[in-house]
Amino acid sequence: MNEENKITRRQVVAGLGATLAAAAVSPALAATGTSNKAIADGPAKISDPTKLYPKPPYKSQPQPWPGLQSKMDPIPDCGETSYKGSGRLMGRKALITGGDSGMGRAAAIAYAREGADVVINYYPSEEQDAQEVIALIKKEGRKAVAVPGDLRSEDFCKTLVQKAVTALGGLDIIVNNAGRQQSVVSIADLTTEEFDATMKTNIYAPFWIIKAALPHLPAGSAIIGTTSEQAYDPSPDLYAYAQTKAATMNYVKSLAKQLGPKGIRVNGVAPGPVWTALQISGGAQPEKQQMFGSWTMLGRPGQPAELASIYVQLAAADASFATGQIYGSSGGVGMP
């Protein structure tokens, strides 16, 4: 063998490592839409999170339940102009409750921009906000279906799932996001009717929806629940709401164990103080609403857009080992 053709064992291993690294990086770049041009354009821009969004105090702005985010000041940012997709959920089929506003709206917009078709559910009085979301999904060339209705009804929850399966030709993502939050200072003032409405919306509805959807969910499907920092550090005036969020955290962990062998992942998102219609429609006492989120390390509440990527990650196929997990986003306060 000629001297110039000789290579050492170390060079072979190094060359093989470089080849494998290149092979691993190339599909990853392709999957995220990263191109050589994007790399050549320089590093991504970063922003100071303390200065990204308006800080409290906010004006008092009570609305009747369940509230419209389009009438809030400031209007929550759900990623309408900021979220950029890269095809991570191409061809997926999602059902999102509470998809008209807040985290549900942010997830719906993000899912559509990642390539998914989406069915959103919402309370009938939220039609104005819901139609904005439907328009944004359709703008991405994805199928968008609106199914208004009251999740406190078992019959409606069953109908919702059937409509979603029929409209999308199946289901493989379920986001149980809709929630009822009403601030009541004393348990003595909490009525059975209000307690029941909170339980039906936050606990019964996900049970009914998951049970109805399960026969339609193939291996690889994802179920995502919206829990809360209230599951870990409950506020005294959210006695009913907080315990439903602890139950949400628990059903995520329980169902993950039950459905894991079937190839279905179950995870949860636990927001801290995030600026949504919950706060202005009875979910917070007036003084807390006006200073909402001021106690976080960033001096402001979160915005739904800041959690959108978490919902995407938990639904995406490359999170295939994540199940039974609770992902927090709280601005440095609360848990997890």
Provide mean pLDDT across the span 20-42. 42
Tokens representing 179?
């929630």
State the Cα–Cα distance between residues 131 and 145, nearest whole angstrom.
10
pLDDT category of residue 89 using cuts at 50, 70 and 90: very high
User: Cα separations (Å) of 234 from 50, 240, 311?
Assistant: 25, 10, 23
Per residue in 137-150, pLDDT tens? Answer: 999 999 999 999 99
**Amino acid identity for residue 15 in this structure:** G
Provide mean pLDDT across the span 103-108. 98
Provide mean pLDDT across the span 51-57. 97
What's the pLDDT at 19? 40
Tell which wins on pLDDT, 46 or 24: 46
Catalytic residue among 241, 251, 311, 327: 241
10: pLDDT strictly greater than 90: no
For the chain, the average pLDDT equals 90
State the Cα–Cα distance between residues 315 and 292, nearest whole angstrom.
30
Tokens representing 227?
């829990």
Per residue in 199-254, pLDDT tens? Answer: 999 999 999 999 999 999 999 999 999 999 999 999 999 999 999 999 999 999 99
Provide mean pLDDT across the span 97-123. 98
Among 224, 93, 228, residue whose Cα is nearest residue 168: 93
42: pLDDT strictly greater than 70: no
Top-level CATH class of 72-329?
A: alpha beta
Among 224, 299, 325, 278, residue whose Cα is nearest residue 100: 278
Per residue in 189-212, pLDDT tens? Answer: 999 999 999 999 999 999 999 999
HEC string of 56-115? CCCCCCCCCCCCCHHHCCCCCCCCCCCCCCCCCCCCCEEEEECCCCHHHHHHHHHHHHCC
What's the pLDDT at 148? 98
What's the pLDDT at 334? 75
Per residue in 149-161, pLDDT tens? Answer: 999 999 999 999 9
User: Cα separations (Å) of 191 from 133, 196, 222, 239?
Assistant: 34, 8, 35, 12
pLDDT category of residue 6 using cuts at 50, 70 and 90: very low
- By percentage, how much of the chain surpasses pLDDT 70? 87
User: Cα separations (Å) of 314 from 119, 266, 311?
Assistant: 18, 9, 5
- Helix, strand, or coil here: 268? strand
Among 79, 76, 81, residue whose Cα is nearest residue 53: 76
Find the angle CA(236)-CA(239)-CA(242) to the nearest 5 degrees: 100
What's the pLDDT at 180? 98
Active site annotation includes 241: yes
Could you state, in order of their start, the residue ranges of all structural domains in the chain? Answer: 72-329
DSSP string, 192-228: HHHHHHHHIIIIIHHHHHHHHHGGGPPTT-EEEEE--
What's the pLDDT at 44? 78
277: pLDDT strictly greater than 90: yes
Per residue in 279-309, pLDDT tens? Answer: 999 999 999 999 999 999 999 999 999 999 9
Q: Answer whether 181's CB lies under 8 Å from 235's CB.
A: no
What's the pLDDT at 41? 57
